[in-house]
Structures are given as C-alpha cells and as structure tokens.
Chains A and B, each alone.
Chain A
Amino acid sequence: MSNAKASSNPFQLFRRRLVLLMGSMDLAITLLLALAVASVIGTLLQQNQPYADYVIKFGPFWFEVFEAAGLYDVYSALWFLIVLTLLVLSTTVCVTRNAPSMIKDMWNLRTHVREKSLRVMHHNTQWPVKLPSEEVALALEKGLTEEGFRVRRTVKDEGLLLSAMRGGLNRLGYLFTHIAIIVICIGGLLDSNLRVKFAEWQGDLKVETRDLATNDVPKESRLPVGNQAFRGSIQIPEGRTANVVFLALRDGYLVQELPFALKVEDFRIEHYATGQPKSFETDLILYDNDLPEPLKTTIAVNHPLIHKGYSIYQSSFADGGSNLTMKAWPLDDRSEQGAISFEGKVFEKRQMNLGGQSLRLEINSFRPFNINPDPTEEEPERLRNFGPSFGFKLRTATGEAKEYVNYMAPVMREGRAFYLSGVRSSPAEEFGYLYIPIDRQGSLKTFTRFLQRLHDKSAVEEVSRQMMEETLSQMSDTSDTRMKVSLQKTLTTLVTMYLKGGFTEVSEYIETSLPENQREKLGPAYLSMLREMLARLYFMDKEQTKPVTEAELLFLQDAADTIGSLSRYGSPVYLSLRDFEHVQASGLQIARTPGKSTVYLGCALLIAGVFILFYLPQRRFWALVKQKNGESEIILAGMSNRNPRDFDMVFNYIATKLKRAVGNSDSQ
C-alpha cells in the first residue's frame, strides 16, 4: 500500500493497477453478466444459418452490420472470446492473489488473538469456573475435540488460549470452484476451432463455398489428419464409403481428412406401434490399416463408436440417391403427345426437354411415406399416410425455378381420387396444391384427353360455331354475318383466355372488352356459354344415346377447376412417380475433442468445490482461560465464514456443552 519505491516506477505502477483491476469483483461481476447477455443474443438470433436467410430477414444493410458484429456465430466471435478470456484472467488473478492466504488459513489455528479481539467478536460469552485453569483447559480441549475440532493450546500472558477450527477445507472449496472455471475454459479452448480461424486469418486456409465433389475440393480448403479438435458431419449413402467429414464454417465448409474409412452397410429407422421413430441405427464398417481386420459395428443415437479418440455419432439421416421411375404428362398444347417415362436419381440434376421446353430437372428429395395431418378431413388432427413423395425443382434457361412436391398415391376428396402436387416459388412460401382428377381406370388419360381437346383449334372452332348458331337462332335477326363472325370469335377467345388463366382471366377479359352498359347482361351469359362449351368439348366423343352420369359431371367440374389453375402451376408437365428404389444415407457426426478430459476434470472440481463451499463452513472457536486466585474465568468466542445465523445455533450448542463439561458455576 505504501511502497513508495515500487509505485514510482511507472511500469510497475501500471502493472499493479492492471492486476488490481483484473482481480476486482466489479470487473468479475460485469464479465459474468456480459457473458450472460452475449449468450442471450446467441439464442435469440438463430446461429449459423445460411447467409441468404439472414439477408432476407434483415435486409442488406443490417445484414452487414450484424455480420461485422459476428452475430451469426456469436460464440466464436472475437469479442465473445475476449470476454471469456478476460473472465479467465480475472479468475486467475483472483485465485493467485487469494490462494496463499487461503491455503494458510486452512491450517492456521490463529493462535495470536488477543483477549480484546475475542471480546468484540459477534459471538462470545464468558463464565467463571471453580477449577484451576490447567484442568479447565483439558476439559475444554476434550469437549471441542469430541465435536470434530482441531485444537491447539498456547500459553499467553493473559492465560491459556485454546484455538479450535473445523471445516478448514472450506477454503479448498473456493480454490476448487475458481480453478475449475480456468480449467474448463482451457479445455474448451483446446476443443475450439481457434486454430482453424487463425490459419484462415493467416491465409493458409480458405472456406469453400461451392458445391463440389469431395475430391475436387482444393487443397487450401482441406485439413490433414492431425491431433487438432474438430466437429464435422457427413452423409454416407448405404453401400458407400467415406474418409472425410465436412466442417461447416460460416457460409461454407472445410474438408477434414480422417485416418480411417467408414462404410455404411445399412441404415434403419425402427418405429413404435404408434408410428413415431424408436431408433436410428447404422451398421458401420471401419477400415483402418492399424486394425488386424475391419471393425464391424452398429451405432445408434446415444450409442456412439469411439476409435482412436475420434467419436462417431448417429446424428441424422437423409436420402442417399434413391432411384425413381417417373412419367411426364404434358399439360399444354403438346398434350396429344402422351406421357413419356424416364428414370432419375435423387440429387441428380439434368437438362430435359419437357413439353417442348428445355428445363433443368433437379430432384432433391424422396420420402417413402408421409405421415401428415389430413387437411381435407373433418378432424385435422388425424394423421394420415400420404404415401411416397418426391421433391424437385424445374429451372428455366433464365435460372428461375419453381419447387414441386408430388405424391405417388392418389388422395381422396369426397370420394374422388386426385393426384396431389405442391408448388411454390421460394422456400419462404407455403406450398399451394394442385389436385388433378384421376379417371375410373386410375389414369390421367381422361384428364389429358380433355386438356388436349381444349387445345385443339378445330374442335374449339366447331363448338364455338355450334354455340353461336344456337344462340343466334333464338334471336330474330339471324342474317347478320358480321355479328356471327364476331360472336364466334369471342367464344373462341373465351376458351383461349380460360386456358391462359382460368375463370379469373376470363372475367378480366369480359371486364375489359365489353362496354360497361352491356357488361352486366352479357358477362354472365358469356360465362355460362363458356361452361357449356367446356362440357361439349368434354362430351364430344360420347355416344348421344348414353345418359350423362353424375360422376362424369363431377369429373368435368374437377378437371375444369384444375385446368383453370394450371397457369399458376407453372410447369409444362406433371411428373408422376411410378416406381422407386429407396436408398438411404446415414448422417454421421465425427468429432475429436482432445480437451474433453480437461473439461471433465474441471467439472468434477467445480461440483466438489461448490458443495464444499456451501455445505462445509469453516468454524472457529477460541477459549481463553484466565487464572484468578484458584478460580478460572473462561472467555469463549467463535466465528464462521458463512451463514452467521446458522452459527448462532452452533455457538449456543458448543457453549452449553462446554459449560456443562467444566461445571458451570454461573447460575444464569
């Protein structure tokens, strides 16, 4: 405090100030709370999402601000690491400063106390005894030892002093707890990706953001086998082998090489009777030249494989490139060409000529079954199996893509069967569904034939002519050819408009092309004529004598609804799934955590320390025995470093016991 020499040296002064600051409780508490707040941010803002999602969410400006602040990966942001480091430093300073005195305190019985200080302790009492002090001291010593205290007797000017302590280990609690924090953080540091970050910062490593085959990933994005910590994942299709994992980093990844190869023999999901998944398991073969023979084993969630310090966990599953047989049904004026069959694989991307248009087909998912809530039933909570489905994107030459999900099995709506196909333009949207009616033979033929007829110019011409003539025959003046031509043309246009955008398009056409005073009367008339034309086109090849059935009318209605929404569907074909061969991929997480045992050691210290701190208080007693002409006077004082109120009881108890032991002559 008053070492003038030291403080005159500015460097030492600074160092001393720094140590003082680092060891201050205010800083420690500020750091504890700062860490808490930083963690809150990390949970409120979803971490490590694709960067594109953040841009959509925050807009370009805030995206950059947040990126600069490292908020997409708070827990490895520089400022977060600084807060952690400061906390470790602060704890270290605190421990090193306190440790010597605490260790001393664990043994030191404090034999140097004076009578005066005993008298000012919060807990003290005194009483006279009619015994010589030697005898009294012996009795007291015995009493305290019985209660588990360590006792030492010293001879003072004032008399005999007994110093006693119990729970000296309490100080160990402090040391354990705080050293544990340091140990855990060091262990955590060993397992962090700091080395990778450093190498990246030095330019030795580059995060790969392209979607490449493993072998094509350049050397500067690969990490060789070593003893560093990492945590990566990989999906291995059944029957395939891999010897690397991918470490996700910001918006890209790095490839970590492994000293062994893993083959996935089989991946299984078992189910409970209720349909919920019961277990995810993978049969693995591990090939390592150091092993006499390949290691065959099965891993499951909660049952990892540990080999050479590498832990291999079951963490997810995905499609492993299932083989699909599909059929493309044209949905436009080429529908007379009929459906074509072709094969494909999940995750395959191929350029195809679909419905006369060059499109890129990107199949990206397949599910062997879909247990979903049924939207059409009365009880939406009831789960129903919608059968297999596959998802794909159709990308045009300009790069625009719509995403589809098609279900293999028909769905039933009010007793009628439909193929179900979902479509959306971006992942942010919900799927909208197209229901395509299926005929009694279970085929799309009736539907496509109807569609084809609507595209057939001569058929439409013919029906328009019929309609025109029938309509005009009801009027008086039938010879006006101009009117004939105009009406027939309007009717044809109605069909074209309908194909272009359904009934909405037709209504719009009527709105814009008819003069206002005729709109009210003619509008509904046009619409009903259009419906009549659709019906005639539909029934065109039906024998006149057969009666029209209810089922046919319903089919017509469904088909008309579907065709009306084809423009929004946006695909020139409907891809139906005919057959599949399911191939799964097992998602493995592979980690190397060399700091783990350090962390666990820290955890053990922490738990031991905390319980010692709270439940093993340090308690001290002093008894000063003063000789006064053949009689003795005892001054008993005590203190505890924790829970003063509990100590009230302890003190009373010990005092009573000791008074009894030496024969209390105090009558009170």
Chain B
Amino acid sequence: MTNYETMMNRDSSSTAVQWSWWLLMMLAASVLFSMYGSLFDIYEIGIVIFTAAGMALLGQNWPGFRIHIVAVTALSLIAIKLYGADLAAPETSFFLNYILASQSAIMWMSALFVMATFAYFIGLFSRSEFTEKVGSAMTWLATTLGMVGLMVRWRESYLIGADVGHIPVSNLYEVFILFAVITALIYLFYERRYQTRALGGFVLLVISAAVAFQLWYTFGRNAADIQPLVPALQSYWMKIHVPANFVGYGAFSMAAMIGSAYLLTSWARKVKPDGLMSTVMPDLIVMEDLIYKSIALGFAFFTVATVLGALWAAEAWGGYWSWDPKETWALIVWLNYAAWLHMRMIKGWHGRPMAWWAVIGLFVTLFAFLGVNMFLGGLHSYGEL
C-alpha cells in the first residue's frame, strides 16, 4: 500500500484505519468459518475468502463503503435476531414489520432511490450543494436498506424450509434489487473519485426506472414470494455468476446514463452556452472519461461473468457453450462493447458518437437482461414474465 496506490484517492485513509479494516474483514470471515465451516464446501470457502478480500480492498480507502458494510451487517443481524425461528415474527415486531423485514426494507430502498433522484436533480439545477449531499445520503441509505433487504430475505428463505433456503439472486424480483444496489454502489464510488454529484440524478434515473418496474412486477404478479430453487439453479456457481453479471449490467447502465448526460450537455452548450444546463454540468471530458471507465469496468466483469456462466453450463447442461439465447445475448453485449473499446482506443473515436453508442448499448444490455427472459425463453429459467 504505497503512497502511489493511495494517492488516487483524494483523501486516502490512514494506515491504521486500513489495517483495522483488513483485520475486521478477516475476523468476519473467520467467525463465519468457525460457525458454519462444517457446512461449506471448498467452493463456498473460496467464495467467502474472495468476498472478504474484495470488501477489504474496496473499503480500505473508502469510508462510505466501510460504514455501509458495518451498517448492513448490524441491521441484518438485528433482523435475524428479531426473527428468531419464526417467519411470522413481523406480525408482532414493529421493527421488522416497518423497517427490517425484507419486503419493508426493499420498499424503503425503492422510496429512497426515487427521492434521491429528485434531490440530485433539484440540487443540481438550484446549485444547492446541500441538496445534492442530501441526494448522496439518501442513495447511501437506499443502498444499505436494499442490501439489508437481500440479506434478510436470504434468512427468510431458510425460515421457510431448510431445503428452500438459497441466496436471493435467483429470480427477477431479487436480481432487480441487486441491480439497483450494485449500480448505486458503482456510482457512489465514482462520485467520490471525481468529486462531482452532477451526474447523480442521471444515474439514479435508471435505478428509479428499475425500481418502478420492480414495483409493478411485485404487485402485478406476486413476484416477491420466495420460491424454492429449480434443480438447475442449485449450484454454488449461481452465487458468483449472477453478482458478477450485475456488476456488468450496472456499469453498462451507468455508462449509458452518463452518455445521455453527455449528449444533453453538449447539445445545451451548443444552443445555449450560458444556459443553466450548460453551466451546472461538469466538463465533457470528465463525462467522457467516466463513460470509458464504466464500460471498461463492465466489460471486465462481464467477461468474468460469462466465463463463470460457461463453467457452470459445463457442469449443469453438459456443455460450456450451447448457444442458448441468454448465453448468445451475453456474447452480443460483450462483442458490442469490445467494438466500442477498440473504436476508442485504436481509431480514437470520442465525443458524441461514442456517447450515442454507449446509450444504444443500454438497450442491447437491457434485452440481454430482460428481453431474453420475456421473449426468447431458453435454459435460463428465472423470472418468466
């Protein structure tokens, strides 16, 4: 952890804090092992170690993330304690019923994301830094509650039945929460890196849209019910394949939203150089940079996710590649962004065409994420609409 590494973070944490954070993560992993080690298989041990290391790395210079993790852990533990062994506990527990039961936490998450979107935009256009900060705070809170919702839901699934219990990344309802939470975290990371909140409203717009879709889906189809896993999904691969995919989806969505902010700003600066939009938005170069960063992040994780998918497919379906619609669309998304990266890197394309391409990329991604399940079917069974 040389200064060189940490310099990139404007206010890097002190070495003492970093060390304590690493220690805390190691401690958390050891506690997990001592409690449940006998139930884990080798892959699950690997997953726990990997997760702890990942969180340690992310948190070492990012105080917000540290608080987030501690808060998620504390709230989830409280909820689990309150639940005990009784799935009906929310009927008698105020806290569970109104805040911590997974559905309540997720409702709070939804409301907070929408409010944060407004706060960011109002703050941006009224040039009120305070309001923008409120937006950030709400986004953090929403992310935390969303994560708590997922954790508690995980527990709830085990309360339904030991054989029903599973990590909540197995159907459309659950992955939508995952999408919102991960996209928000990626955004918050860059918000701190680039010290600009001007893009918050734009990125949260896509999260709010996801939340709106999810609400419709929840009420329209009773989608929030916890369903047991079909045999094909009962695999440790799911625990890593799905989250990796959603880092990809989240990063690509962020790139697209910043792309649209770029297009609006560059248009505004042309037609009305001293208008509100032109003056409140950050430099075009900054946005361009961010688009590239998110696409690179998305591409890297999407590569990992697709490879993991292939490994899983090799185990579950008897072939690492079957040209199943979902697989194929993952490839399409991947090829699309590979082309984007080359255009930028080698042909030196930049500016509006690349921003447009990033926006169009969202639709390709969206089809891979939702469209395939809605229109094409195939072996990916979760979330049929």
Contact = CB atoms under 8 A, between A and B. Distances in A.
Interface of A: 25, 28-29, 32-33, 35-36, 39-40, 42-44, 47, 75, 146-148, 188, 231, 272-274, 276-280, 300-302, 304, 311, 313, 315, 589-591, 593, 596, 599-600, 603, 606-607, 610-611, 614-615, 643, 645-646, 649-650, 653
A39 B228 CA distance: 33
B230 A276 contact: yes
A280 B234 CA distance: 12
A643 B289 contact: yes
Given A28-B342, A276-B227, A36 B307 contact: no
A44 B377 CA distance: 11
Interface string B287-325: 001001100110110011001001100111111110101
Given A42-B328, A148-B2, A32 B338 contact: yes
Interface stretch (B3-11, B13-21, B101-109, B196-204): B3-11
A43 B325 contact: yes
B339 A29 contact: yes
A148 B315 contact: no
Contacts of B347: 25, 29
Given A28-B342, A42-B323, A148-B2, A302 B316 contact: yes
B329 interface: yes
8 contacts: A148-B4, A278-B163, A302-B234, A304-B318, A600-B311, A614-B296, A645-B289, A649-B8
Contacts of B321: 188
User: How would you classify the secondary structure of chain B's contact residues: helix, strand, loop or mixed?
Assistant: helix
Contacts of B299: 610, 614
Given A75-B323, A146-B2, 13 more contacts: A36-B331, A36-B336, A42-B328, A43-B372, A44-B376, A148-B4, A280-B231, A313-B318, A589-B317, A599-B320, A603-B307, A606-B307, A615-B300
B335 A36 contact: yes
A47 B318 contact: no
A147 B4 contact: yes
A300 B235 CA distance: 12
A75 B332 CA distance: 14
Interface in B231-253: 231-232, 234-235
Contacts of A606: 303, 307
B318 A603 contact: no
A69 B91 CA distance: 62
Going nearest first, the 9 A-B pairs with the smallest beta carbon separation are: A313-B318, A301-B231, A589-B318, A36-B335, A43-B325, A603-B307, A272-B228, A32-B339, A147-B4
Contacts of A277: 230-231
A607 B329 contact: no
A626 to B, nearest CB: 27
Interface string B268-283: 0000000000000000
Contact of B315 (A35, A75, A304): A304
B317 A315 contact: yes
B231 A279 contact: yes
Contact of B285 (A39, A599, A645): A645
A273 B41 CA distance: 26
B164 interface: yes
Nearest to A34: B335
A149 to B, nearest CB: 9
A36 B285 CA distance: 30
B320 A596 contact: yes
B322 to A, nearest CB: 9
Nearest to A590: B318
Given A25-B346, A29-B339, A43 B234 contact: no
A35 B346 CA distance: 20
Given A33-B335, A607-B304, A278 B231 contact: yes
Contacts of B24: none
Contact of A40 (B292, B303, B332): B332
Contact of A302 (B235, B292, B323): B235
Contacts of A146: 2
Nearest to B316: A302
Contacts of B325: 43
Contacts of A653: 3-4, 7
Nearest to A611: B300
Contact of B307 (A147, A591, A593, A607): A607
Contacts of A33: 335-336, 339
A591 B318 contact: yes
A147 to B, nearest CB: 5
B310 A603 contact: yes
Interface in B159-208: 161, 163-164
Contact of B343 (A29, A35, A600): A29
A614 B300 contact: yes
A88 to B, nearest CB: 14
A272 B289 contact: no
A590 B325 CA distance: 22
B345 to A, nearest CB: 8
Contacts of B164: 272
B228 A274 contact: yes
